[in-house]
Amino acid sequence: MADDHTVVGRVVAITDAIAAAAGPLTLAALTHGTGIPKPTVRRIANDLVRHHVLEATPAGYRLGPRLSYYGFRAGRAGGLSVVVPPYLRDLSLRAHDEVSWCGEFFRGELDFRQLVFGHEYRADIKSQTWPSRALLGPSFALTAGGRLQTAFDDALSERLSQTGCRPLTRHSATAPRELRLLLEQARATGLAYEREQVTPGWSCVAAVILDAEERPLGVIGLTGRSSVAAQRSTQRALIAAADAIGRELRSARRGPRVIE
């Protein structure tokens, strides 16, 4: 986020930078990442520490307990963080402990929120970098989640269908005509599947979560090394989970019904 020279904008930029980091950020890293003058970063960050929005550690700044409280309060309103976990556990069990995950669309990215996985995937999860549009560019559409995000963005879908994208593996579908067909299928079915198009030996299937106006809220998916993701029964279970999550979110946002 560029420095907009407003107090609120700078607070958000600093908090966003820390939230996106894999670990604590030093003052120098925050200054470089936000483009905000170092004295201003120090003053705002220390003010946020005093208000428990951030914490100061020997390694740098990290998110503080007040944000956890805000997240909890937001979750009680029926957000994905509260609704999704039972579905993730069920999907992972159905898929023999494959990685089940959920992501939420935020500011043009698919923000991966939660994961459930078997013990055999522990080392992989710790060492892997989750894909993003910022990291992969147009090739993000080769991922199952990225394909769904692209398919429901008319301008992005049309552009990619004309230009194609660079391959990530020898299995990547990158020709414009091929991509157009895959995107049209994803838009029509709400489901996307890829096998070794992003990482050799890995496959992924994902279903889009829609709101009452048929706008995409996020994605729920399964990733792993086995062929479970390709099975029709797994894909049907994933679509059913996405539909159920959407209904539950819409119900929570309408609030409780009062019977007279």
CA-closest candidate to residue 135, choices 48, 10, 20: 20
pLDDT in tens, 134-146: 889 999 999 999 9
β-bridge partners, 208: 219
In this prediction, residue 258 has a pLDDT band, given cuts at 50, 70 and 90, of: very low
Is the model's pLDDT at 56 over the cut of 70?
yes
pLDDT in tens, 197-245: 999 999 999 999 998 788 898 999 999 988 877 788 889 999 999 999 9
Residue 23 has phi, psi (to 5 degrees) of -155, -170
* 157-183: average pLDDT: 93
How far, in Å, CA of 236 to CA of 255, rounded? 29
pTM above 0.95, yes or no: no
Q: Which residues contact 137 (CB under 8 A, 6 or more apart)?
A: 165, 166
How far, in Å, CA of 70 to CA of 7, rounded? 20
